């Protein structure tokens, strides 16, 4: 890893750009779909193109960059492994993992946070909700999924993460959900059943949705960013519509939002913003 230029020594070091991680990549599998970080840096299940990596490198030479995604860190770095390294190499200083290529790394909406390779404070979903409420909710979810009449059932169904739970199906589910709105209906049922839990439900990616405490959406990452006193905080995301998992941070008064639908959109926005 080459030495990192301090923020204060970068020409526009008072500007930070945060990315929903999926706006940068070319396919490694035809037709595959990612769970969470879709559209902003990388299309689903893809790896970064040479063009977007070069643009990010140019931006980082001028300003500060970071990613913020809902998935856990290993899943995000699987897609953002720009040097072909996975998260295990984070422990080896002779490698160049994804955490070396971004100034800020926010997984699980910022509940897992890294600044310049150093871990910041984290928080826990299970501590917030409590074991009994968690078990009640999981039981309801599994019963609901069992009763769903969908073409194929192959999913993990519930994935527990540090700061949330993720309810998901498999790739074949995506097309069916677009027509039948299974996720949207499921979310409405959960809102009614657990109205007193203080939870937010956010549809993200192509086959899943997240459940997390109110305020633990992607704006959670901003509490780490605010400490740096940046003049501008830019956010680039694709799920910026109401109910999408980029909506809250995109609309937040502290950020300048950029709605992008592809890596090409991200490149265009960055080249315009930084006159690259």
Is 191 part of any domain? yes
Whether 38 is catalytic: yes
Q: How many domains does the chain have?
A: 2
Both 131 and 200 in a single domain? yes
Both 24 and 35 in a single domain? yes
Both 139 and 116 in a single domain? no
Q: How far apart are CA 29 and CA 163, in angstroms?
A: 29
pLDDT at position 94, please? 47
Both 231 and 119 in a single domain? yes
Q: Which two tokens stand for residue 217?
A: 């959406």
Burial category of 146 from C-beta neighbours within 10 Å (exposed 0-12, middle 13-18, buried 19 and up): exposed
Is 99 part of any domain? yes
Is 2 part of any domain? no
Q: Where are the beta strands (DSSP E) in the chain?
A: 15-19, 25-27, 46-48, 64-68, 104-107, 112-115, 118-119, 157-160, 165-168, 199-204, 208-213, 232-237, 256-259
Both 56 and 143 in a single domain? no
CATH code for position 244: 3.40.50.1000
Whether 264 is catalytic: no
Q: Write down which residue in 213, 230, 259 finishes a domain.
A: 213
Both 222 and 114 in a single domain? yes
Both 105 and 170 in a single domain? no
Both 202 and 97 in a single domain? no
The listed range with the strongest mean pLDDT (54-63, 114-123, 158-167) is: 54-63
Query: What does the pLDDT average to over 26-50?
Result: 48
Is 1 part of any domain? no
Residue whose token pair is 């994935």: 159
**Structural domain boundaries enclosing 172:** 125-213
CATH code for position 167: 3.30.1240.20
Express each pLDDT in 89-125 by its tens digit.
433 444 446 678 899 999 888 988 999 989 998 888 8
Is 185 part of any domain? yes
pLDDT at position 145, please? 81
The listed range with the strongest mean pLDDT (49-58, 143-152, 158-167) is: 49-58
Asked whether residue 149 is marked as a ligand-binding residue, the answer is no
Q: Which of 127-141, 152-166, 184-198 has the lowest mean pLDDT?
A: 152-166
Beta 15-19 vs 64-68: how paired, if at all?
parallel
At residue 35 the predicted structure's pLDDT band, cuts being 50, 70 and 90, is: very low
Residue 152 or 14, more confident: 14
Q: Which of 25-29, 166-170, 175-179, 237-241 has the lowest mean pLDDT?
A: 25-29
Both 117 and 135 in a single domain? no
Express each pLDDT in 200-250 by its tens digit.
887 766 667 788 898 888 999 999 999 999 999 999 998 888 878 899 999
Asked whether residue 177 is marked as a ligand-binding residue, the answer is no
Catalytic residue among 38, 101, 103, 217: 38
Both 61 and 137 in a single domain? no
Both 184 and 150 in a single domain? yes
Question: What percent of the chain shows pLDDT beyond 70?
Answer: 73
Asked whether residue 46 is marked as a ligand-binding residue, the answer is no
On the question of pLDDT at 88 being above 50, the answer is no
pLDDT at position 22, please? 61
Asked whether residue 246 is marked as a ligand-binding residue, the answer is no
Q: Write down which residue in 172, 190, 213 finishes a domain.
A: 213
Asked whether residue 30 is marked as a ligand-binding residue, the answer is no
Asked whether residue 252 is marked as a ligand-binding residue, the answer is yes
Both 198 and 241 in a single domain? no
Catalytic residue among 14, 36, 196, 264: 36
Bridge partner list, 212: 200
Q: Which two tokens stand for residue 199?
A: 């939870």
pLDDT at position 127, please? 84
Bridge partner list, 166: 159, 210
Cβ contacts of 71 within 8 Å, gap of 6 or more: 35, 36, 37, 107, 108, 161, 166
At residue 47 the predicted structure's pLDDT band, cuts being 50, 70 and 90, is: low
pLDDT at position 207, please? 62
Q: Which of 121-130, 164-173, 188-197, 209-218 has the lowest mean pLDDT?
A: 164-173
Is 204 part of any domain? yes
Asked whether residue 238 is marked as a ligand-binding residue, the answer is yes
pTM value is: 0.73
């Amino acid at each position: 890893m080459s030495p990192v230029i301090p923020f204060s020594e970068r020409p526009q070091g008072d500007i930070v750009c945060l990315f929903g991680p999926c706006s940068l990549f070319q396919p490694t599998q035809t037709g595959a779909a990612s769970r969470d970080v879709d559209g902003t840096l990388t299309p689903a299940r893809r790896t970064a193109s040479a063009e977007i990596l070069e643009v990010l490198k140019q931006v980082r030479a001028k300003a500060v960059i970071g990613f913020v995604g809902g998935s856990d860190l290993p899943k995000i770095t699987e897609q953002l492994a720009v040097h072909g390294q996975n998260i295990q190499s984070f422990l080896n200083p002779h490698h160049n993992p994804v955490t070396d290529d971004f100034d800020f790394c926010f997984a699980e909406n910022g509940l897992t946070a890294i600044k310049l390779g150093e871990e910041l404070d984290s928080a826990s979903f299970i501590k917030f909700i409590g074991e009994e409420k968690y078990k009640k909710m999981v039981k309801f979810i599994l019963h609901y999924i069992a009763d769903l009449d969908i073409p194929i059932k192959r999913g993990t169904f519930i994935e527990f993460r540090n700061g949330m739970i993720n309810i998901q199906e498999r790739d074949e589910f995506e097309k069916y959900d677009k027509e039948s709105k299974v996720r949207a209906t499921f979310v409405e049922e959960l809102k009614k059943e657990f109205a007193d839990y203080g939870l937010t439900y956010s549809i993200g990616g192509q086959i899943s949705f997240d459940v997390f405490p109110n305020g633990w959406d992607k704006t959670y990452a901003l509490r780490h960013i605010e400490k740096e006193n940046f003049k501008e905080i830019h956010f680039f995301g694709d799920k910026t519509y109401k109910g999408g998992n980029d909506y809250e941070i995109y609309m937040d008064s502290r950020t300048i939002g950029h709605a992008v639908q592809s890596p090409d959109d991200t490149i265009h926005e960055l080249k315009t913003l930084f006159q690259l």
